[in-house]
Structure 1
Amino acid sequence: MLSESSTATVRATLPAVGAAIGDITDLFYRKLFAAHPELLRDLFNRGNQASGAQRQALAGSIAAFATQLVERPDTRPDVMLSRIAHKHASLGVTPAQYDVVHTHLFAAIAEVLGDAVTPEVAAAWDEVYWLMANALIAIEERLYAEQGVVAGDVWRAWEVVSRTEETDDVARFRIRPADGSPAPAFRPGQYVSVQVELPDGARQIRQYSLSGGPGSALRSITVKRVHGNDAPDGEVSRHLHAEVRAGDRLRVSAPYGDLVLKSDEAPLLLASAGIGCTPILSMLEHLAESEHRAPVTVVHGDRSPADHALRTDHTALTAKLPGAAAHFWYENPADGHPADRTGLVDLSGLTVLPGTHAYLCGPLPFMRAVRTQLLAKGVPASDIHYEVFGPDLWLAS
């Protein structure tokens, strides 16, 4: 909880900081990478830096956390903190790195806001930062302990057992620990980070959902190739598609991610678009293995049946569940596809049962649209869970 004196100062300065937060985060990253170029090379996603998505997400998370401290001081944004902490754990972030961030973030605040940063203001925002940082550090320490690893030491060598071309732009890689040890357990919906060395020597990291059932001996990641010539956005997916074959090795993190099924018997709605189907398929496989009996509604949107990665699995796993139904929307459907399933996902014709828990994964506009429709159908916001591939820009909107 923020101290009383700092609460008053943060409340008074939040409009000014909020208005300048974009400039602050932009300058912060420039200062950070000038002092520590290895962080951009080997830790931060260069594509998200080039697009500005990471700066936007950082600004949104800081503003959201500070706003909650002053408006709802008896609560904490645990969903936001959990999502960030899981991503940090999958990257191997350590407590010492929060000191590095603090140094350059507060240098950026002082430079952008100038004389407005009095000692009182600096102390208040310092308290905000460390409340957020220490909360994340505590969650990350617990996540590392659950995986039985030392803080930050999440990486292992894995061997590619096989590769399957699912569509023209999607490949599935089946992998196992290279040392022959058992693959770590994971919860349906979680992901791993994959680090690859690129031609310029950078060791870039991306996250990929685990799409096989937790009970299988092998693990699978499904990678969609992102096009864009030489742009950093997609440089890892293009490398995996072009270079990685059976017998190769990958550097893979322990599994993390907070979009996981609750252990209850509530009706479920599992909605995805594009490659967002991968965590949903893991959930479906788990539900089939555990003989889930409550109703399950499966929703997916894609450009066409040919673009729908793992479409056969999507259909077959749904069919294994009693009372489950799959509804696929395609913008460019094949002949004979139902007219009311053409175009973007539209839930108006679907029955959403009371007590439904919804899990969403896909592009942000898709998830916003589905969430809006679910809220209109009476699903509480607390029962709608989502996963964002990349920085969580929902906070910045």
Structure 2
Amino acid sequence: MLSEQSVPVVRATLPAVGAALGDITQRFYAGMFAAHPELLRDVFNRGNQANGEQRQALAGSIAAFATMLVERPDARPDAMLARIAHKHAALGVTSEQYKIVHQHLFAAIVDVLGDAVTPEVAAAWDEVYWLMANALIALEAGLYQDAGRTEGDIWQRMEIAERHEETADAVSFVLRPADGTAAPAFKAGQYVSVRVELPDGARQIRQYSLSAAPGAAQWRITVKRVRGGVGPEGEVSSRLHEHARVGDVLDVSLPFGDLVLPDGDGPLLLASAGIGITPMLSILDHLAAVGSTRPVTVVHADRGPADHAHRAEQRDLVAAHPGATLHVWYEDAADPDTDAAVGQADLDALELPDGLTAFLCGPLPFMRAVRGDLLRRGVPAEAIHYEVFGPDLWLGQQ
């Protein structure tokens, strides 16, 4: 919690700092990358830097954390912090890097706000930063410890054992450790990072959900090719689609992510759109593997049947689960092989049991719509969990 002397300072300056966070984060990243170009080359997603999404996510998380410190001083946004910590661990972030961030973030604050940053204001916001940073450092240390690794030591060499074209824009890769050992354990719903060397020498990192059940000697990821956008977006997915073949070896991280099943046998909703199907497949596959009979409502939305990655597999997994039902919506075309509806996903048409735990994954507009439907129908906010591919622009809005 903030010190007594810092609370009124942060409260008084929060509107000004919040209004300037866009400029602050832009200058922060520019300054940090000028001093440490290796971070942009080998750690940060260049596409998300070019389109501004990483700046938006950072600004949102800082504003949400500072607001909580002054409005709810006895609380801590554990869900937000855990989500960030898992993303950081999946990149191999270390505690020393927080010092680099601190240096360049506060230089940017002074550049933007100028004389308004008095010693008192600087001390108060320094406290905000280190409260958040130290909380994340502790969480990330726990994740590394649970994995039996030192901080940042997340990478392993994985060989592509199989490659499958799932749709025109989605390909799956079955991965196995290159040294012949068994793949490390993971929890259904988690993701891994894949680090790919690009033609300019950069080693860019992207996260992909594990799309099959835990417990196998191998892993599977499904990569959707990202097309268009601002900047070098899609450079990793395109590289994997065009060049990754059976027998190639990739740098892959240990599994991370907090979209995991809770204990118990309560009812579940698994709602996905597009490539957001991947963590839901892992959860469904896991439920089938353990013989679960808990009620499961599966919702999926896509452009059309040809775009629906793992379509037959999803249908088969639902059919194999005695308590599961499947509801599919396609925007552009009907599916002659099933009773999929045409249009947007509509949860109002579904019966939802009491005590539901919901998992969402897909584009933000889809997840916002589904979450809104669930809240209106009485599902508690704490029972709704989500996964975002890329910077979390939803942080602090839950």
TM-score range, shorter chain: over 0.9
Equivalent residue letter for 1:263: D
Offset of 1:323 from its aligned partner?
2.2
Q: Is the 8 A contact 2:50 2:230 kept in 1?
A: no
Q: Using a 3 Å threshold, how does the CA distance of structure 1 residues 175 and 339 change in structure 2: closer, same or farther?
A: closer
SS in 2 for 1:345: coil
Query: Which whole-Å deviations, capped at 9, do the CAs of 1:219-277 have from their partners, x for residues lacking one?
Result: 00100011139941100000000000000000000000011111111100000000000
CA distance in 1, matches of 2:95, 2:57: 20
Identify unmatched segments of 5+ residues in structure 2: none
Identity %: 67
Q: Which position in structure 2 is the counterpart of 1:293?
A: 293
Identify unmatched segments of 5+ residues in structure 1: none
Q: Is the 8 A contact 1:57 1:396 kept in 2?
A: no
TM-score in terms of structure 2 length: 0.98
Q: Using a 3 Å threshold, how does the CA distance of structure 1 residues 230 and 56 change in structure 2: closer, same or farther?
A: closer
Q: Which position in structure 1 is the counterpart of 2:86?
A: 86
Kindly report which structure 2 residues correspond to 1:66-105, keeping only aligned pairs within 5 A, or say none: 66-105=66-105
Equivalent residue letter for 1:217: A
Matched, 1:209 2:215: no
CA distance in 2, matches of 1:166, 1:241: 11
Q: Over aligned residues, Cα RMSD in angstroms?
A: 1.3
383-392 or 333-342: bigger deviation: 333-342
Q: Which position in structure 2 is the counterpart of 1:58?
A: 58
Offset of 1:204 from its aligned partner?
0.2
Offset of 1:3 from its aligned partner?
0.4
Matched, 1:124 2:124: yes
SS in 2 for 1:301: strand
CA distance in 1, matches of 2:316, 2:339: 23
Matched, 1:158 2:158: yes
Matched, 1:375 2:375: yes
Query: Which whole-Å deviations, capped at 9, do the CAs of 1:124-150 have from their partners, x for residues lacking one?
Result: 000000000000000000000111111
SS in 2 for 1:373: helix
Equivalent residue letter for 1:135: A
Q: Which position in structure 1 is the counterpart of 2:318?
A: 318
Q: Using a 3 Å threshold, how does the CA distance of structure 1 residues 219 and 3 change in structure 2: closer, same or farther?
A: same
Q: Using a 3 Å threshold, how does the CA distance of structure 1 residues 332 and 229 change in structure 2: closer, same or farther?
A: closer
Q: Which position in structure 2 is the counterpart of 1:255?
A: 255
SS in 1 for 2:5: helix
Kindly report which structure 2 residues correspond to 1:23-34, keeping only aligned pairs within 5 A, or say none: 23-34=23-34
Kindly report which structure 2 residues correspond to 1:262-273, keeping only aligned pairs within 5 A, or say none: 262-273=262-273
Matched, 1:113 2:94: no
Q: Which position in structure 2 is the counterpart of 1:140?
A: 140
CA distance in 2, matches of 1:189, 1:360: 11
Offset of 1:340 from its aligned partner?
7.9
185-194 or 334-343: bigger deviation: 334-343
Offset of 1:395 from its aligned partner?
2.5
Q: Is the 8 A contact 1:56 1:396 kept in 2?
A: no
Q: Using a 3 Å threshold, how does the CA distance of structure 1 residues 229 and 261 change in structure 2: closer, same or farther?
A: closer
Kindly report which structure 2 residues correspond to 1:1-16, keeping only aligned pairs within 5 A, or say none: 1-16=1-16
CA distance in 2, matches of 1:211, 1:133: 31
- When the two structures are aligned, how many residues end up with a matched partner? 397
Equivalent residue letter for 1:162: E
Q: Which position in structure 2 is the counterpart of 1:17?
A: 17
Offset of 1:294 from its aligned partner?
1.9
Offset of 1:336 from its aligned partner?
4.5
Q: Which position in structure 2 is the counterpart of 1:279?
A: 279
Q: Using a 3 Å threshold, how does the CA distance of structure 1 residues 46 and 270 change in structure 2: closer, same or farther?
A: same
Q: Kindly report structure 1 stretches of 4+ aligned residues shifted beyond 4 Å.
A: 335-340
Q: Which position in structure 1 is the counterpart of 2:385?
A: 385
